[in-house]
Amino acid sequence: MTDAVIVLSLMAVIFLFINYRQGKHFESLKEAKKMFLSILPLLLCAFVIVGFLDILIPEKALQAWLGAESGWKGLIFGPIIGALIQGGPYAFFPLFDAVFRETVTTGTAIAMITAWGMINVGHLPYEFTFLGPRFVLLKNAIYLAIPSLTGLLADFLFG
Amino acid sequence: MCAVQSKWQKESNREQDHLGYGISRPHYGFNCFYQGGTPLVGGGFLAGGKTLLQVFPLLIIAFVVAGSVSTLISKEMVNRWLGEEAGWKGPFLGTLLGAMVPGGPFFFYPLMATLIISGANIGTMISFVAAKTLWYVGRIPIEIAFVGVRITVIRFIITFAIPVLAGAAVNYFLPGYTARIRSEVELLRAKGEKSGKGGMQDD
């Protein structure tokens, strides 16, 4: 968590400085406050869900299906879970942090996050409505294997 | 999620039997109440509150970053990029655009429809949606905050080439798809306009 604080603080300073040079620093802080307040109720709900999940989900089962000893299973089930979890980044990442972060391997974590973004089932209705079935087919045919492959590559290179 | 949870159930003890039925918060509340009565429900809220307090300082910083990025990416800038007939500039521009365009799926899918109609190649849009869903820059602060620097960086490195490669492959191997998908999108747009859907689709 300390590394996250350092990196984010640096980013904040840099971006604030760029904004300051353009005379928009005050505006950007107001924007940050606005975003924070509009996200806060969602975050509160997310944290309560996360709290319950923490208590309810059996640690051993999680370990067996997604942990280091799960082997290739983690690279298959991780993306499936990722693709099924609904909600934007402010709901997904806190949940990931509380439930999966400690358990999963680097590869499974990357596969899960990638799947949540790329092949999220919650995007399907929008894709069908605005872009049509042919696009949905093309997109998902290309993307389907990517999360597991990135996970495999991550385990291979950095695991 | 539920399907996997029901798998977990088999390996868990009987106390966990009520886990797989839903992912809504009231339901979890109910589950907790069912399993452990009021103390456990309180425990859920308490655990949630504790997590929130722990990450609160980090969140404030994350939002300062997110806020200042959003003031730097002005609407004019995005509009200028979109107006420039992004399709002919290929997957590279699509990738850049995808990484910078804010908003959820209710915003960027209509945006893609607009781009396709105004001449973007399908490969470019494949690049766009890959970049948007893989590493939209506005998401990075929150990802670092909760997932950590290491995994965020590794994920970025490994997926770095995917959007451009996927888009270029589609443009190269499936050139006929652009026209076919465009006519489908135009059909959907015509339907949508009849039922008077949102202003985001307007040019």
Print pLDDT tens along chain A (159 aa): 567 778 778 888 888 888 888 888 888 888 888 878 877 777 777 777 767 766 776 767 777 778 777 778 889 999 998 888 877 888 889 888 888 888 888 999 999 999 999 998 888 888 887 888 999 999 999 999 999 999 999 989 987
Chain B contact present for A150, CB below 8 A = yes
Quick one: A102 and A146 in the same domain?
yes
Residues of chain B with pLDDT below 70 are 1-41, 51, 69-70, 73-89, 118-119, 192-203
Contact across the interface for A135 and B185, Cβ inside 8 Å:
yes
Give dist(CA A153, CA A148) in Å, integer: 9
Residues in chain A: 159
Give dist(CA B90, CA A45) in Å, integer: 41
Contact across the interface for B185 and A130, Cβ inside 8 Å:
yes
Quick one: A30 and A67 in the same domain?
no
**In contact, A16 and A25? CB cutoff 8 Å:** yes
pLDDT at B40: 67
Quick one: A90 and A101 in the same domain?
yes
Which residues in chain A have their CB less than 8 angstroms from residue B150's CB? 3, 106
Quick one: A139 and A67 in the same domain?
yes
Encoding tokens for residue B41? 């429900």
pLDDT at B30: 53
pLDDT at B114: 72
Quick one: A44 and A74 in the same domain?
no
- What HEC string does chain A produce? CHHHHHHHHHHHHHHHHHHHHCCCHHHHHHHHHHHHHHHHHHHHHHHHHHHHHHHHCCHHHHHHHHCHHHCHHHHHHHHHHHHHCCCCHHHHHHHHHHHHCCCCCHHHHHHHHHHHHHCCHHHHHHHHHHHHHHHHHHHHHHHCCHHHHHHHHHHHHHC
For chain A, the average pLDDT equals 84
Range of the domain at A154: 59-159
Quick one: A65 and A52 in the same domain?
no
Contact across the interface for A154 and B43, Cβ inside 8 Å:
no
Domain range list for chain B = 2-55, 73-201
Quick one: A66 and A48 in the same domain?
no
Contact across the interface for A31 and B19, Cβ inside 8 Å:
no
Quick one: A120 and A146 in the same domain?
yes
pLDDT at B194: 67
Q: Between the CA atoms of B126, A91, B26 and A51, what dihedral angle is there, to the nearest 10 degrees? A: 140
Chain B contact present for A13, CB below 8 A = no
pLDDT at B192: 65
Encoding tokens for residue A144? 């389907």
Contact across the interface for A89 and B166, Cβ inside 8 Å:
no
Number of domains in chain A: 2
Chain B contact present for A136, CB below 8 A = no
Question: End of a domain among A14, A32, A56?
Answer: A56
What are the DSSP calls for B109-160, one per residue? HHHHHHHHHTT--HHHHHHHHHHHHHH-GGGHHHHHHHH-HHHHHHHHHHHT
Quick one: A71 and A109 in the same domain?
yes
pLDDT at A117: 92
Give dist(CA B129, CA B132) in Å, integer: 5
